[in-house]
């Protein structure tokens, strides 16, 4: 692929179209870091949906975060045209599309961005003048490497697959206060569970098992167990807390995403379903045990070396469905409390020899 044509007199402007989900967005961070290293003098912008923006707010490789307001100003239809018009005023030289949708290519085409780099997915090849033919093998490797394939396809330097997630000092201070306010002894291990997951119940281990696990962990380590989750997980957190014998502190729905990141950074151990927060813990290098059922343990597991996967292979997994189509949920039912507890204790023992 020939060299990208970027302006020389003023700093070039690059737009990265970010992924739409928190976990996916975190897994694109190696590409964003590499784009900065390929174009150190450029101004780099990233366009994302509002709920993903905190992933990039403190990222030193991004100059500005632009919001794709798809429920308001940029709502599908005329809002798509309005977004393209909004982007046109920035006079971008190059766009790098992390998202695979036709719409992503259409918007940047309509925005008049001369260099448009991305995979030839979703019938959008004619809209990309820097079109990369997707190698089917990339569908069978970790999603981080799938995204890094965009760099290779564009003839750009690849800076490796290490994830980035940056926490501000302000959020770190707030995290410390949250722990203190909830009676968490920071001289002991800070242990947390994340029982929720977006996209249906198939990815979720059972609440009663999270409760039993929390009780065992609390007794073994002499601590309270934090419960993480989004706004829709507060009731789930209360249910687990009650079933556990009230050994938990339910933070589900009580923090924003940036605050959740800062609290995860303080954890000694994070036990989670496959979720965006699982990838946040991976980016922050936190000891974690990931409970994997319906999703692909090859393409989207936690990427940190200090993580363990608890998984029992069954004939229908990974199904990638939001709900169990057979209603038996065997991929999760076969994962016992003792299996997860054993991995959790081993992880803590290995990290504190």
Rounded to an integer, the average pLDDT of 93-98 is 97
The 10s digit of each residue's pLDDT in 244-291 is 999 999 999 999 999 999 999 999 999 999 999 999 999 999 999 999
pTM of the predicted model as reported, rounded to 2 decimal places: 0.96
The residue count for the chain: 353
Q: In the prediction, which pLDDT does 235 show? A: 97
Q: What pLDDT digit, counting tens, does each position of 102-126 carry?
A: 999 999 999 999 999 999 999 999 9
Domains of the chain: 13-153 (3.40.50.2000), 170-351 (3.40.50.2000)
| Chain segment 157-195, per-residue pLDDT in tens | 999 999 999 999 999 999 999 999 999 999 999 999 999
Q: What is the 3-state secondary structure (H, E, C) of the chain?
A: CCCCCCCCCCCCEEEEECCCCHHHHHHCHHHHHHHHHHCCCCEEEEEECHHHHHHCCCCCCCCEEEECCCCCCCCCCHHHHHHHHHHHCCCCCEEEECCCCHHHHHHHHHCCCCEEEEECCCCCHHHCCEEECCCHHHHHCCHHHHHHHHHHHCCCCCCCCCCCCCCCHHHHHHHHHHHHHCCCCCCCCCEEEECCCCCCCCCCCCHHHHHHHHHHHHHHHCCCEEECCCHHHHHHHHHHHHHCCCCEEECCCCCCHHHHHHHHHCCCEEEEECCHHHHHHHHCCCCEEEECCCCCCCCCCCCCCCEEEECCCCCCCCCCCCCCCCCCCHHHHCCCHHHHHHHHHHHHHHHCC
Determine the average pLDDT of the residues in 51-68: 97
| pLDDT confidence of residue 137 | 94
What pLDDT score was predicted for residue 353?
47
How much is the average pLDDT of 13-21?
97
For residue 7, what pLDDT is reported?
Answer: 76
| Structure confidence at residue 352 as a pLDDT band (50, 70, 90) | low
Q: In the prediction, which pLDDT does 9 show?
A: 64
pLDDT at 21 over 50: yes
């Amino acid at each position: 692929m020939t060299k990208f044509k970027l302006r020389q007199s003023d700093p070039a402007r690059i737009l990265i179209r970010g992924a739409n989900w928190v976990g996916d967005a975190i897994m694109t961070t190696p590409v964003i870091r590499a784009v900065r290293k390929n174009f150190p003098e450029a101004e780099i912008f990233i366009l994302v949906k509002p709920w993903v923006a905190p992933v990039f707010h403190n990222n030193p490789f991004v100059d500005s975060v632009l919001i794709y307001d798809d429920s308001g100003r940029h709502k599908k239809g005329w809002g798509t045209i309005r977004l393209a018009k909004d982007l046109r005023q920035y006079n971008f030289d190059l766009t790098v599309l992390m998202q695979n949708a036709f719409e992503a290519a259409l918007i940047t085409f309509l925005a008049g961005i001369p260099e448009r780099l991305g995979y030839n997915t979703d019938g959008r090849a004619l809209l990309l003048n820097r079109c990369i033919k997707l190698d089917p093998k990339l569908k069978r490797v970790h999603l981080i490497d799938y995204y890094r394939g965009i760099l290779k396809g564009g003839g750009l330097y690849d800076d490796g697959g290490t994830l980035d997630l940056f926490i501000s000092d302000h959020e770190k201070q707030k995290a410390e206060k949250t722990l203190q306010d909830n009676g968490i002894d920071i001289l002991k291990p800070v242990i947390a569970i994340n029982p929720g997951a977006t996209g249906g119940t198939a990815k979720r281990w059972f609440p009663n098992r999270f409760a039993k696990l929390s009780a065992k962990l609390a007794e073994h380590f002499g601590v309270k167990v934090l419960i993480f989750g989004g706004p829709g997980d507060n009731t789930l957190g209360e249910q687990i807390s009650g079933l556990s014998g009230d050994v938990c502190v339910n933070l589900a729905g009580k923090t924003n995403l940036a605050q959740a990141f800062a609290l995860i950074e303080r954890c000694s151990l994070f036990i989670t379903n496959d979720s965006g927060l699982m990838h946040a813990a991976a980016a922050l290098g936190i000891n974690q045990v990931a409970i994997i059922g319906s999703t692909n343990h090859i393409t989207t597991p936690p990427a940190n070396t200090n993580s363990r996967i608890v998984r029992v292979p069954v004939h229908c997994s990974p199904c990638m469905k939001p709900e169990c189509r057979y209603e038996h949920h065997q991929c999760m039912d076969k994962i016992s409390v003792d299996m997860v507890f054993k991995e959790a204790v081993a992880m803590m023992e290995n990290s504190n020899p």
